[in-house]
Structure 1
Amino acid sequence: MRVLFLCLLLCAGSLAAAGPAAGSPRMACPQLAGTGFPQARVSSAKTEGSYCVLHGVLEPGTHFEIRLPTHGWRGRYLQRGCGGLCGQIPLGPADSAECAAPANSGFAVAADDQGHRSADPSDGRWGAHDPGLRRVFGLTSEHSTARLAKAVIARFYGRAPTYSYYDGCSGGGREAMMLAQRYPDDFDGIVAGAPANNWAPLLGLYQPWLARVNTDANGRDILGAEKLPALHRAVLEACGNGNGNGGLGVITDPRHCGFDPASLACARGTDSPGCLTPAQVHTVRELYRGPRDAAGRNLFNGGEPYGSELAWREWLIGGAHSTAARLGLNYLKYLAYRQNPPAGFDLADVRFTDAEFTALNRLGDRIYNANDPDLSRFRAHGGRLLLYHGWADQAISPWSSIDYYAALERSAGGFAASKEFSRFYLIPGAHHCLTGAGTKVDADFLTPVVDWVEHAKAPEAIRTPIVRDSDGTQLVDQTIRPHDALAPAYPDKASLNTGYDYVGSYR
């Protein structure tokens, strides 16, 4: 799994001067070691770089790390979310430049492993026979860590944080939405990136679909990685905006793209990296459309977006070893049902039916899904939410966020009313959690939320340039604005990324 599941980097040095008054520690860092807090134990406390770093355990088994600036604390608390099925604390080395940035901006920082330890964030075996651990992972870990961290902060500095923020992407984005919906008083500002909020059908149907439709009868990939560059180039030639390196740019909105994979079909009896066989044409179409039942109704909001093709290599290619296959199978075998399926259960056993959708959501709605669009309590608390999603997200279809935000707008009383406490941004050319296929989006979403919470400066336009991972070369320069999910899209009628008929709804 990529580092996106391990650490969300923060570039917020500009925040330091504008924040609340600085605070100084009231006690030495080592004095926190061994101290007791309700349902928690601090096992170690020592100074590392600019932080007093605490490690410990929240009952029954959530490992946490809390970092307290040893000087210049400005009354801010930041909690970071964890992606995938977690199992690791998503913070880099305390003395690294990127993870020292929060200290320089006056943040105390914390994160946890969501109740279990695992070297692989697609491993779900920890929850196979423990409903309690499932509940900690799905529902309570982030709330518990927030309560603990605030108590530790109050003891160390002599006062509680003035402002509290949460920043998470993917699984961390699901956690962010869960906090806004079920624990609305915990945080003042929340950043939710590519949220996996529609968790049960995402893990139980969407990921298995991505793996299944690209697997032949012998368990091999139908569409191999060698085909992706030509496919991606053909899509951009048909639908790119031309505003980027090489002139092809990015796809501003996949709903306006009518690319047909059959236009790249190989000549009869031939096969090469520059064309698609009949089986591959069919697979690509199925990927763009997403999981469906026998009646053609979608079992998840959308499919793979046009423009995401280069990132398929790291997500859905590789048969049973692909990220999509491992996440889907681990969820279904160990976490999805009250009674686990037989030990021999495999992706070939997944049923893409309305009945299966309903079965998955029985447990999903209780502890995993974060689909409630009514954020009135979060709004009344004064909370501010910024939600973002990449238009080229290969892991979680952006239509999931579009549908959720449309429901949020309706619940709030329309687009204008929703903007009183929330913003939603769609980013052309951005892969999952803003990274993938050798590029990343060089954007900062936390600073606008801090400005909104602390200075009532609501975010509008945000610059989201795309750069090459290897050397930082800018490939695309773009600025995005808040998206109205209820506005007419005027899609291309031939587009495979339109006309979704989702069996679920956001209530």
Structure 2
Amino acid sequence: MALLSIAQALITASALLGHASASKSCTADTFMSLGLSNIHILSLNVTSAPNYSTGDSSASGVTSAPISRIPPMVDICFITLQYTHPGQNDVVNTYIGLPLNASDWNTRFLMDGGGGWTAGGLDEIIAPIASGYSSSSTDGGHNSTTSTADWGFMSEGNTNWPALWDFSSVALGEAATLGKMATEIYFGSAPKYSYWNGCSTGGRQGHMMAQRFPTYFDGIVAGSPAINWDRFQLAEYWPAFLAQLLDTQPPACVLDAFSDAAIEACDLLDGVKDGIISLPGQCHFEASSLVGQTVNCSDPNGQIIITDNIAELVKGMWEGPISLEDQFEWYGLNYDADLTSLLATTCTSVHNCTVIPFSISADWARIFLARNSSFSVQGLTRQDFDDLFRESVDQYASIIGTHNTDLTGFKLAGGKMITWHGMQDELIPTNGTVDYYTRVMGRDPTVADYYRFFLAPGVAHCGGGPGFDPSDTVFETLRVWVENGTVPDTLGAIATAVAGSNSSATRTADLCLYPKVFTYVGGDPNDASSFSCI
């Protein structure tokens, strides 16, 4: 009788925890019903992988457990589905991972986003599974080693529209549907909660989910999002174009000199000297103030005097692209952002450098706009650039722009989304996300009920830098908002400590819900209580 009572108690506890009582066998036969009406399956492979090595990868922000790293080994049921959309001549791979044992499943589903031209892949499902989630991902119709020309062209001069649709949105929605379908087949119940967690391209994908597939996810983290794709890609190309227009190719040390000077001039505007420009709107540093100064470089060695053209180039990178008629096209980088990411150079001497355009923006201009695999920035005129910009907006905004402000479907479905963006982002202009969120606020004054945005001073693209980085807290903040109704008025973040004030290497603070401003109000700058949201 006692043994029976114990067994009943264990069953009750398991039910309360929400675990499925048992999983089916991890074999192809179990998943024969997996599919969608609009796809033709080319292959289905199912593999049982007990003691699969995770490589001890970081699970930052993914798991609520008080650990910083995932287990080195995990038991996984892998499903790889290859399919095509009949008539479109595409091939898409979807990767699904399930905790092999039902007792290891936390009853939730989580997709991690991709980066750059990579929509996702096998690697993106490992950390979620090791943290107890079922997961899926997609290659979006091309793998990470495929050149953009190989998948972006149907033939030279002709855009491969189905491939771009797959990458932009279609394959993402299908991966989510197939992943949750496989979860229900295997465990006998659908996920209680479904989440998206991504940054950069992953942040764009998260916004695309909220816009195109509003019922698919209960919660979305979308950091440093590559939204406004049709506009910011040309803004990323602007530095290389402007460099050739001004016939100046400065080495990295010269660009760093401008960033350092701007930080020196504007760092203390917030009352704290910490290498961060927290109030960029109050910073009015002029690039021209460095004209005539000498920069001592070490890589390569030498001295270079800052010219008017170099200063004009940096000013243009901070302001962003402007049309031939002096009309705003898109935003530039903030003053403390690293300028060398979008304007990389290789140099044999300080006076002999070659500009290397940022690869993703160069691919966008070359493959999708000029539709010419031999296209180069060299020789472009201001009119040429404006034509490319209009081409980008006119032909691609509806496909990959990902800036639709109508989130009504997501709101009505009860979804919750948190976006954050580092103010020192060196790749995607922070103000582009501010612009989007402001437009959503203008459309729906109740937006904060379901979609919240936080700026992170001093943080680079998707993390890093001296500033207040929320990478390790944002997912758990989203989860408790979704599951417990705990509304995030602030977002916990970690920064490099201000030297001399604290024995710790880091400091913490709470980022502010936009449009409130993260403000130093006095006291020890390493103490979170010294900052407020105003």
| TM-score where L is the length of structure 1 | 0.79
> Residue 436 and residue 83 in structure 1: after superposition, are their counterparts in 2 closer, same or farther (change >3 A)?
farther
Map of 2:359 onto structure 1: 326
1:178 aligns with 2:208: yes
1:314 aligns with 2:344: no
Map of 1:374 onto structure 2: 406
- Which amino acid is the alignment partner of residue 46 of structure 1? S
> Residue 45 and residue 436 in structure 1: after superposition, are their counterparts in 2 closer, same or farther (change >3 A)?
farther
Map of 2:529 onto structure 1: none
Name the SS of the counterpart of 1:166 in structure 2. Answer: strand
- Which amino acid is the alignment partner of residue 54 of structure 1? I
Name the SS of the counterpart of 1:432 in structure 2. Answer: coil
Q: Does the 8 Å CA contact 1:315/1:322 hold for their aligned counterparts?
A: no
Instruction: Tell me the alpha carbon deviations over residues 426-468 of structure 1, each in whole angstroms, 9 at most, x when there is no partner.
Output: 1001111113699976532111111111111111222221359
Q: Compute the displacement of 1:266 (Å).
A: 3.0
Map of 1:189 onto structure 2: 219
Matches within 5 A, 1:190-339: 190-203=220-233, 205-215=234-244, 222-241=249-268, 247-267=273-293, 272-273=296-297, 276-300=306-330, 302-309=331-338, 312-318=339-345, 324-336=357-369
- Which amino acid is the alignment partner of residue 359 of structure 2? R
- Which amino acid is the alignment partner of residue 53 of structure 1? F
- Which amino acid is the alignment partner of residue 193 of structure 2? Y
Map of 1:505 onto structure 2: none
Map of 1:43 onto structure 2: 45
Aligned with 1:125 (options 119, 137, 150): 150
Structure 2: any 5+ residue segments left out of the alignment? Answer: 1-13, 53-73, 85-89, 155-159, 298-302, 347-352, 498-503, 520-534
- Which amino acid is the alignment partner of residue 291 of structure 2? A
1:462 aligns with 2:488: no
Which aligned runs of 4 or more in structure 1 are off by greater than 6 angstroms? 242-245, 319-323, 436-440
> Residue 118 and residue 82 in structure 1: after superposition, are their counterparts in 2 closer, same or farther (change >3 A)?
same
Map of 2:62 onto structure 1: none
Q: Distance in 2 between matches of 1:456 and 1:280?
A: 52
Q: Does the 8 Å CA contact 2:254/2:295 hold for their aligned counterparts?
A: no
Instruction: Tell me the alpha carbon deviations over residues 324-361 of structure 1, each in whole angstroms, 9 at most, x when there is no partner.
Output: 5321221123234xxx5344422233746655433222
Q: Distance in 2 between matches of 1:214 and 1:189?
A: 42
Q: Distance in 2 between matches of 1:438 and 1:449?
A: 21
Instruction: Tell me the alpha carbon deviations over residues 218-244 of structure 1, each in whole angstroms, 9 at most, x when there is no partner.
Output: 7xx622112244333322221114999
Q: Distance in 2 between matches of 1:68 and 1:51?
A: 6
Q: Distance in 1 between matches of 2:507 and 2:254?
A: 24
Q: Distance in 2 between matches of 1:232 and 1:382?
A: 43
Q: Compute the displacement of 1:32 (Å).
A: 6.0
Name the SS of the counterpart of 2:327 in structure 1. Answer: coil
Name the SS of the counterpart of 1:295 in structure 2. Answer: coil
Q: Does the 8 Å CA contact 1:80/1:90 hold for their aligned counterparts?
A: no
Q: Distance in 2 between matches of 1:103 and 1:90?
A: 11
Map of 2:26 onto structure 1: 29
Q: Does the 8 Å CA contact 1:177/1:370 hold for their aligned counterparts?
A: yes
- Which amino acid is the alignment partner of residue 435 of structure 2? D
- Which amino acid is the alignment partner of residue 240 of structure 2? A
| TM-score where L is the length of structure 2 | 0.75
Map of 1:166 onto structure 2: 196
Name the SS of the counterpart of 1:214 in structure 2. Answer: helix
Q: Distance in 1 between matches of 2:507 and 2:306?
A: 28
- Structure with a larger share of its residues in strand: 2
1:136 aligns with 2:133: no
Aligned with 1:386 (options 396, 407, 418): 418
Structure 1: any 5+ residue segments left out of the alignment? Answer: 1-16, 490-507
> Residue 171 and residue 186 in structure 1: after superposition, are their counterparts in 2 closer, same or farther (change >3 A)?
same
> Residue 441 and residue 118 in structure 1: after superposition, are their counterparts in 2 closer, same or farther (change >3 A)?
same
- Higher relative contact order, chain-length normalized (CA < 8 Å, sep 6+): 1
Q: Does the 8 Å CA contact 2:456/2:468 hold for their aligned counterparts?
A: no
> Residue 298 and residue 353 in structure 1: after superposition, are their counterparts in 2 closer, same or farther (change >3 A)?
farther
Report which of the two structures shows the higher radius of gyration computed on alpha carbons: 2
| 84-93 vs 417-426, greater mean Cα deviation | 84-93
Q: Does the 8 Å CA contact 1:206/1:291 hold for their aligned counterparts?
A: yes
Matches within 5 A, 1:375-414: 375-412=407-444, 414=445
Q: Distance in 2 between matches of 1:307 and 1:362?
A: 32
> Residue 230 and residue 20 in structure 1: after superposition, are their counterparts in 2 closer, same or farther (change >3 A)?
farther
Q: Compute the displacement of 1:37 (Å).
A: 2.0
| 229-238 vs 138-147, greater mean Cα deviation | 229-238
Q: Does the 8 Å CA contact 1:314/1:322 hold for their aligned counterparts?
A: no
Q: Does the 8 Å CA contact 2:466/2:496 hold for their aligned counterparts?
A: no
Name the SS of the counterpart of 1:341 in structure 2. Answer: coil
